[in-house]
Amino acid sequence: MMINVTRSSMPAFDEYMEEIKEVWDSRWLTNMGPKHKQFQEQLKAFLEVDNVDLFCNGHMALEMAIQAMGLTGEVITTPFTFASTTHAIVRNGLTPVFCDIEPDTYTIDTSKIEALITDKTSAIIPVHVYGNVCNIEEIERIAKKHGLKVVFDAAHAFGEKYKGRGIGSFGDASMFSFHATKVFHSVEGGAVCFHDEAFGLDLYRLKNFGIRGPETVDAVGANAKMNEFSAAMGICNLRHLEGEIAKRKEAAHRYRKHLEGVAGLKLPFKQDTVNYNYAYFPVLFDKEVFGKSRDEVAEKLAENGIGARKYFYPICNDFDCYKDKYDVNDTPVARDVALKVLTLPLYADLVLEDVDRICKIILGK
C-alpha cells in the first residue's frame, strides 16, 4: 500500500451531502451565495481576524491581495517557499528581491532585510514556512520604519495562534490556502485576512472582474471567486479541524520518538509561542554525519512505496523561469536547506505503525 506525503481530510460523505442539499435545491452555485457567506462568517470567528474574504485558491488570494494593495517596484520575500509566492509577485509586474532564511525556522532572516531595501521597495511578503511563524515583531518594526506594506503568506499556518493571537491577524494582510493537500481544505480555496475595510472593497471587486456595480467596471480584475460547493466542503471540514490536528500531532510525536537525537538529522523546530497545526514534518539530512543523503533516503522510501517530498527543492531563485536573474548563492542558507530537506508523510489518518515503518527505513534498521 502506497503512502503519499499527504492525504486529504474528508468529512463523512453524508455530512457533505447534507451540506450541499440547499445548494442543489436553490441552484445558486457560485457568486457569493449563502454557503460562501456562512463559511466566511465562521472563518472570521475561528481565525479571530477583523475581516476575511474567500477565493478560488490561495494563489489567486495572494495575487489579488498584492494587486489591491497597489504595490510597486520591488518586494522583499524569500526563495524558500512554494512557487506561488514568487509567481504572485511577478504576475503583478513586480520584482521579487530574495532575502535569505533563518537556519532553524526557515522563515525570512529579518537581520538581512534592511540591506535589501531600496527606494523602489514597496512591501515585504514573508512566509510562515511549515507553520513556523516569522519574526513578526521585527518585520513590523522594519516595515513601519521604511513605510512598507506587509503581506504574510500564511498558507502553512491555518488555525495557528502566535502568542495567543490568530495568525491571520498580523500584517496588512495574510493569505491562507485551502488546497486539498493542506491541513484544512475546501477542495480548492483560499482566503485573505485584513484590517482595512477600503482595501477589502478593492479586494472583493478584483475577485469579480473589477465589477463595482451593475453598470460600473472600474478595475482590471479577474475571476477568483469561491464557489458554493467549495464553501460547503470548508464548512464541513472546519467542524473536524481540531480532531484532525490532534491526530497529526500524535503522528508528529511518533516521528520525534524515533528520530530525535539521531546524529545528522535535524527535526522540525519548535517555537513555544506557537500553537502548531502540524502541517508538515520536514527533516534535514546531513550526509557527512548521518551517512545517507536526503536523495538516498528519498530513494529508499520510494522503493518501499513511501512518497516523501523534497519540499522546497528547487528554491524559487533556482527555477528555470527565474534563475537567469538570480543567484542561489545570494541566499546560502536557503540553498543548503533545500539540498538537505525531506518532508515526511504526515496527515491525520496516518497510522502510527506506518510512522514506525517509515522511521525504520530511514534509519536502515
Ligand X SMILES: *Cc1c(COP(=O)(O)O)cnc(C)c1O
| Footprint of ligand X (CB under 6 A) | 57-59, 81-82, 84-85, 127, 153, 155-156, 177, 179, 190
Q: Is 27 exposed, middle or buried (0-12, 13-18, 19+ CB in 10 A)?
A: exposed
CB of 315 to ligand X, least distance (A): 12
Handedness of CA 39, 228, 8, 340 (dihedral sign): negative
Q: What minimum distance in Å lies between the beta carbon of 255 and ligand X?
A: 20
Where in the chain does DSSP place strands (E)?
51-55, 74-77, 95-98, 121-125, 149-153, 161-162, 165-166, 173-177, 190-194, 211-213, 216-217, 265-266, 274-275, 281-285, 341-344
Q: Which is nearer to ligand X, 83 or 352 (CB)?
A: 83
With respect to ligand X, which residue has the nearer C-beta, 101 or 259?
Answer: 101
Measured from the CB atom, is 82 or 313 closer to ligand X? 82
Q: How far is the CB of 134 from ligand X (least distance, A)?
A: 12
User: 201 or 321: whose CB is closer to ligand X?
Assistant: 321
**Residue 136 neighbours by CB distance under 10 Å:** 21
- Which residue number places its CB atom closest to ligand X? 58
For residues 81 and 237, which CB has a smaller minimum distance to ligand X in the complex? 81
Let me know: does 339 contact 36? Beta carbons within 8 Å.
no
When the beta carbons of 156 and 254 are compared against ligand X, the nearer one is: 156
**Rounded to whole angstroms, how far apart are CA atoms 255 and 55?**
34
Q: In this structure, what C-alpha cell is assigned to residue 256?
A: 520525534
User: In the bound complex, what is the minimum distance in angstroms from residue 278's beta carbon to ligand X?
Assistant: 15
Least distance to ligand X from the beta carbon of 173, Å?
Answer: 14
| Look-up of cell digits 469579480 | 208
Q: Which amino acid is at 167?
A: I
Least distance from ligand X to the Cβ atom of residue 194, Å: 17
